[in-house]
Amino acid sequence: MMRALWTAASGMQAQQMNVDVIANNLANVNTTAFKKDRIEFKDLLYETMRRGYVMEDGGRPVNLQVGHGTTAVATLKDFATGNPEETGNPLDFFIDGDAFFMVQGPTGEVNYTRDGSFKLSITEMGNMLTTSEGYAVLDEMEAPIYIDVDLSRLMVSQNGELSYLDEDGISVPTGQIIGLSYFENRAGLESIGRNLYQETQASGFPIMAMDSEQVSLINQNFIESSNVKTVEEMVKLIIAQRAYELNSKAIQTSDDMLNIANNLKR
């Protein structure tokens, strides 16, 4: 009966972590370009008391095994594209595809994001395109992007090329293209907060858009909404709560059985 106590306890711990993941998804239902997580579980070791075997005149076709519960093994990031939301802001960009924007982190490293709600930061070099935290958005050569034109005349093509309309209404390229990167295993990226990801050995090295056969289009005046579905997460939350309650009931039942055994009288 002690096995049941530890087994049910592992189920309660697993469901607690499941609720934590669901709560994080719901908390970010309005976070731009947020990608929901899904937790994965695996069963633990089994105690084999009898093994199946085969003999000429018969045998045992099945094993006698008892498991020891479950454990969380991974959280899988769902990179399904969120819905585009029109903002009318010329510095808002939506990626139609699997690519990521490149952002220069606080220590000079390159991070990656799907959040295209950019801003302009005034610097000595000019007006630099940045994230809300002031991290520089990079072009295809991994250099900061500077925009020193009237934003009302700013145009960004679907391949990310920046241009502006002159006084005669003619499109003049600025010579910079918003950089995009791909990863062979997006699920291997590590979330570091602030809508940023960083590469890992599991994700593989970034592949620049110019070197990739994949195609992603940039849409100006749009941002990507969170891909969290509130109703779906609420259903998962109810299931997790019920599973937690059932594991708690299993612990109570095991404790009652132990109490009965301890109180046996001859």
135-153 pLDDT per residue, tens: 999 999 999 999 988 888 9
If asked whether residues 117 and 245 sit together in one domain, one would say no
More confident: 106 or 10: 10
Question: Cα angle at 73 between 71 and 78, to 5 degrees?
Answer: 130
pLDDT at 1 over 70: no
Do 26 and 59 reside in the same domain of the chain? Answer: yes
Rounded mean pLDDT, 103-107: 91
Residues 116 and 208 in one domain: yes
- Do 242 and 150 have their domain in common? no
235-245 pLDDT, tens digit per residue, is 999 999 999 99
| Structural domain boundaries, residue 249 | 2-79+228-262
**Confidence (pLDDT) at 209:** 92
Instruction: Give pLDDT, residue 49.
Output: 83
Count CA atoms closer than 13 A to 7's CA, side-chain side.
19
Do 43 and 158 lie in a common domain?
A: no
Mean pLDDT of 208-230: 95
Question: Domain check: are 120 and 20 in the same one?
Answer: no
61 and 10 share one domain: yes
Q: 155 and 53 in one domain?
A: no
Encode pLDDT of 152-185 as tens digits: 899 999 999 999 988 877 888 989 999 999 999 9
Predicted local confidence at residue 62, as pLDDT? 86
Note the pTM of the prediction, 2 decimals: 0.89
Least confident among 60-64, 89-93, 193-197 = 60-64
* C-alpha closest to that of 204 among 181, 223, 227: 181
User: Mean pLDDT of all residues in the chain?
Assistant: 92
pLDDT of residue 64: 86
Q: Please tell me whether residues 243 and 127 are part of one structural domain.
A: no
Contact 93, 116 (CB under 8 A): yes
Residue 54: predicted pLDDT: 77
Residue 70's nearest CA partner among 38, 24, 39 is: 39
Same domain, 52 and 129: no
| Helix (H), strand (E), coil (C) string for the chain | CHHHHHHHHHHHHHHHHHHHHHHHHHHCCCCCCCCCEEEEEEECCEEEEECCEEECCEEECCCEEEECCEEEEEEEECCCCCCEEECCCCCEEEEECCCEEEEECCCCCEEEECCCECEEEEECCEEEEECCCCCEEEECCCCECECCCCHHHEEECCCCEEEEECCCCCEEEEEEEECEEECCCHHHCEEEECCEEECCCCCCCCEEHHHCCCCCEEEECEEECCCCCHHHHHHHHHHHHHHHHHHHHHHHHHHHHHHHHHCCCC
pLDDT at 189: 96
Measured CA to CA, the distance from residue 34 to residue 190 in angstroms comes to: 13
Task: Answer yes or no: do 91 and 202 share one domain.
Answer: yes
pLDDT of 263: 86
Of 107, 110, 257, nearest to 181 (Cα)?
Answer: 110
Are both 111 and 171 inside the same structural domain? yes
Overall domain count for the chain: 2
